[in-house]
Structure 1
Amino acid sequence: MITLTDTAALAEFCERAATAPYVTVDTEFLRERTYYAKLCLVQLAFPGDGEEVDAVLVDPLVDGLDLAPLYDLLRDERVTKVFHAARQDLEIFWCEGGVIPAPLFDTQVAAMVCGFGEQVGYETLARKVAKAQIDKSSRFTDWSRRPLSDAQKRYALADVTHLRVIYEALARQLKQSGRTPWVEEEMAVLRDPSTYETEPREAWRRLKMRNPNPRFVAVARELAAFREEHAQQTNVPRSRIFKDDALLELVSLRPKDHAELGKARLLLREARKGAIADGIVEAVRTGSEVPKEALPELPASKARDQIDQALADLLRVLLKAKAEGAGVAQKLIANAADLDDIAAGARDGDWNRGWRAEVFGRDALRLCEGRIALAAQGSAVRIVELEA
């Protein structure tokens, strides 16, 4: 088990990896105490001769190690970068190195396209595809602590060595089924830098607000923006500033000074003084003074009486039948909110673009238009064409 701890050794490995058709990549990180993930370990592997795999660990916590050779490899468009459940790994590489690997292949997405179910885990794929058992004893390791034990290193390397077999098997299956472009469509979202950037002024959209009053929303927007900015600047989790329930309580109280801030029941003690307290009061003041014509509004949601519930139920049956017929995970095609939107009159969305339109979207619209019906055929569902 080789651990790379100097830049020259990393550069030499990456030069060799750049001659391979693909490289498998994984990371270990900590995020419990920080806003941005702390990169603690990088695992890399590429196929060698025959069954051999050239695999290493890279220790980014070593003083003086420059990850530039790794970032150059990730940018190299001659080499496919293979991850499993890539989103968090890609966020780290974007935030730390300003790089998003390309070309990119996510085995979790590919497995959903290949009929392995919803968000299938790496251990499941390793068992089913690579016929390998993953030792879970190091699963909850504090990866920032050194030295790493041999068991921890073996566990980390298993995340990229078995991934080679999984990738090759899924890539073959996709090629045989003609679905490689489907996975490529999904990779476009993961390659988009905006996927990993949080704009403080948009942070309020994640809140679950039941009060649609525009003034309430305006104050919530300012508080959410302050919290996000402060969390980013101090590199602490946003919940350490104040949690969502405390934010919504502050919107209701609208404290004008530190004394009124003391009435908040859900606010952490650290948030009742200093920079956080000042920021809360200023955010409340700003939100309270937003001109009427500039007040934000909650996104329009479909009222229950707008949704044709019978049609929504039929769409759920159609989605299940089409997903099973195509061997694709349902949630990769459409979710419950999408089906309610369609039943309420929506005629456009991700569910009706690209391969999703081919598998489900077009028939969903035909069902809404009364051009097809659904019929039971034993335990299966079939589509019945209706006369115009």
Structure 2
Amino acid sequence: MNIITDTEALAAFCEECAKHPYVTVDTEFLRERTYWPQLCLVQLAHPVDGDLSSNDGAAIVDPLAEGIDLAPLMALMQAPNTVKVFHAARQDIEIFWKLSGQIPAPFFDTQVAAMVCGYGDQVGYETLVRKIASAKLDKSSRFTDWARRPLTDKQLDYAIADVTHLRRIYETLDKRLKKSGRAAWVLEEMRALTSEDTYRNDPEEAWRRVKTRSSDGRFLAVVKALAKWREARAQEKDIPRSRLMKDDALLEVASNRPKDMDELGRSRLLLREARKGDAAEGILAAVAEGEAGPEVAPEKRAGGGPAKPGAGALTDLLKVLLKARADEIGVAQKLLASSDDLTRIANEDAPDVPAMSGWRRAAFGELAMQLKTGRIALSANSNGIEIVEFEDEEEEA
């Protein structure tokens, strides 16, 4: 097994990878004790003649090795003629973006491609290895300590398998997409993954992740200020936000709105470390900011008004149509439309939802609107669910 621990070897291997049309990539990292993921391993494999599941053309890069410079790896991630192939790429992409300030390009996500090719919702790598590469993975090393050295042979075998089998998976899915004409669908789906906004955690927006049913504008203003303080401090200290203050404690503080250390110390849920020092001062300052600033209007979910008469039954019919259509064209249901999409299609005259734009509209959205307006119906028979089209009355006349 090729294990790279110095810059010269890394540069040579990355130069070889850049000669090929694609390179498969995976990472092992830890983030239980940090805000930002701690990169522990990078696995790479370029195409080879013969057995794509072998370790030929593959390497494991140790970013924790003393003196190693990852610049050649970052250059490879930007090589314009080599597609970087990941599975479930979001966290891997975040790591490279954080280290280099750039998103790997061009890149391809086999999980997205597998959903487009009908392998189900958010299909796992192990499933694709079994179905496409006809192999079985030993996942027992998945949650081991990747920062500890030396790594065991079992860990290394597990890590390298995440890129060797990925070559066959990529080539198989790529051929299927080209044959079906759906390659553009995958590119459209990966648009969010290619946006830097996906990987920026803006403290000003952190409050939106805190689940609360309250619509009190002053309470929400305090929640927003506390969440902003927590996110900024977690990023600065590189610690998980829950190590500072869990959501239930944040909501408790927002409800009680302590004005001094004594009142803050009465919290039942706040961690001990947050009741003293500059952390406590930051929390009190955030509470004061939330109380002094403008109230925050509760977010209204689009289409969240009262349901139209019959909308519930129509939503159920749309679910049947969704499953029938997904089965017919071989695409994961979740990719075509979400449950929120269906609810809004049933309730709104012009729903602005993903199912009504891009390739989804042609694949499902138009049929959904036709069902809603009575231009098609659903029929059950021995072959399952069929779509019945009604002739236009003007044409019939």
- Which band: TM-score by shorter chain? over 0.9
What code does the residue aligned with 1:250 have? V
Kept after mapping to 2: 8 A contact 1:214/1:298: no
Flag the 1:170–1:104 CA change in 2: closer, same or farther, 3 A. Answer: same
1:297 is aligned to 298
What code does the residue aligned with 1:56 have? A
1:365 is aligned to 369
Kept after mapping to 2: 8 A contact 1:126/1:132: yes
Kept after mapping to 1: 8 A contact 2:32/2:240: yes
Alignment of 1:1-388 (within 5 A): 1-51=1-51, 53-291=56-294, 295-300=296-301, 302-303=303-304, 305-306=306-307, 308-345=311-348, 347-378=351-382, 380-386=384-390, 387=392
Structure 1 gaps of 5+ residues are: none
What code does the residue aligned with 2:51 have? E
1:116 Cα deviation (Å)?
0.9
What code does the residue aligned with 2:15 have? E
SS at match of 1:25: strand
What code does the residue aligned with 2:61 have? V
CA distance in 1, matches of 2:292, 2:86: 47
1:340 Cα deviation (Å)?
1.5
CA distance in 2, matches of 1:361, 1:372: 13
Deviates more, 1:318-327 or 1:25-34: 318-327
Kept after mapping to 2: 8 A contact 1:114/1:173: yes
Once the two structures are superposed, residues 306-361 of structure 1 have per-residue CA deviations (whole angstroms, 9 ceiling, x without a partner) of 25211111111111111111111111121112211222215222111111111111
Among all aligned residue pairs of Structure 1 and Structure 2, give the percentage whose two residues are the same amino acid: 58
Kept after mapping to 1: 8 A contact 2:215/2:297: no
Kept after mapping to 1: 8 A contact 2:121/2:334: yes
CA distance in 2, matches of 1:273, 1:302: 44
CA distance in 2, matches of 1:112, 1:190: 15
What code does the residue aligned with 1:215 have? R
SS at match of 1:189: coil
1:304 Cα deviation (Å)?
7.4
CA distance in 2, matches of 1:334, 1:100: 27
TM-score of the superposed pair, with normalisation by structure 1: 0.96
CA distance in 2, matches of 1:141, 1:300: 40
What code does the residue aligned with 1:141 have? T
Aligned positions, number: 386
1:49 Cα deviation (Å)?
3.1
What code does the residue aligned with 2:10 have? L
1:117 Cα deviation (Å)?
0.9
Structure 2 gaps of 5+ residues are: none
Deviates more, 1:15-24 or 1:261-270: 261-270
Kept after mapping to 2: 8 A contact 1:347/1:365: no
Once the two structures are superposed, residues 66-102 of structure 1 have per-residue CA deviations (whole angstroms, 9 ceiling, x without a partner) of 1111111110110011111111100111011212111
TM-score of the superposed pair, with normalisation by structure 2: 0.94
CA distance in 1, matches of 2:179, 2:204: 45
CA distance in 1, matches of 2:122, 2:27: 19
Kept after mapping to 1: 8 A contact 2:86/2:110: yes
1:12 Cα deviation (Å)?
0.6
CA distance in 2, matches of 1:327, 1:372: 21
Kept after mapping to 1: 8 A contact 2:112/2:122: yes
CA distance in 2, matches of 1:93, 1:286: 35
1:111 Cα deviation (Å)?
0.9
What code does the residue aligned with 2:95 have? I
Deviates more, 1:144-153 or 1:346-355: 346-355
Once the two structures are superposed, residues 227-260 of structure 1 have per-residue CA deviations (whole angstroms, 9 ceiling, x without a partner) of 1001000000011111111111111101111111
SS at match of 2:58: strand
Kept after mapping to 1: 8 A contact 2:221/2:294: no
